[in-house]
Amino acid sequence: MAAESREEKEGPEKRDGADGAKPDTDSEAKQDQVKSAEKEREEKEKFLRLAAEFDNYKKRVAGEISGAKNLGKAETLKNLLPILDEFELAMIAVNKSDNNELAKGIELVYSNMIEFMKNEGIKEVRCDGVYDPYLHEIALTRESEKKQGTILEVIKKGYTINGILLRPAMVIVSGEAKKQDDK
């Protein structure tokens, strides 16, 4: 009778199963482990996605910074182009004079400036062949026997840097030859 009163005090949740077996705590533990492993996997995936997004962000920002530097560099070098033009004019003028020392000095400064521009990535726009509206600016059209649009003369050189047009070349191109009417 003492055993019955103890079972009644403990209640049905404290008693062993009807067949005398213990409650199934092993399956609950396995379910907890599965849930824990799944949650850990999800957290790891989130972490990897976040790491990849951050890596892409760093690459994008580095590209934007590089592009901004190139544009700033292009603007600065574009401002030097009139000075380069004036040195070319000075070389033409000084070569016509008898002052050889002055000519050598101007040529030296000019060659240093050209070397600097090349080192910075500046390239001269090619002006042989046919007019290209993306690289050339027509200053004058002249009658010629050559095909229409052929570049005849360069008035002012054009320059590019890393594919960016700093200044189009100012050119004279051939136009249609006027036909003479027979009367």
What is the Cα 136 distance to its own chain's centre? Answer: 24
What pLDDT, on a 0 to 100 scale, did the predictor assign at position 183?
45
Write out 30-92 in H/E/C secondary structure.
HHHHHHHHHHHHHHHHHHHHHHHHHHHHHHHHHHHHHHHHHHHHHHHHHCCHHHHHHHHHHHH
Q: Model's pTM, two decimal places?
A: 0.63
Could you give the CA distance from residue 84 to residue 78 in angstroms, rounded to a whole number? 10
Q: Measure CA of the first residue to CA of the last residue in the chain; give whole Å.
A: 145
What pLDDT, on a 0 to 100 scale, did the predictor assign at position 71?
86
Please give the radius of gyration of the chain, using alpha carbons only, rounded to the nearest integer: 42
Mean pLDDT per block of 10 residues along the chain (183 residues) reads 50 48 71 89 94 95 92 90 91 86 90 92 91 93 89 93 91 77 48
What pLDDT, on a 0 to 100 scale, did the predictor assign at position 178?
61
What pLDDT, on a 0 to 100 scale, did the predictor assign at position 83?
92
Q: Are 160 and 81 in contact (CB under 8 A)?
A: no
91 is written with which tokens?
């070389």
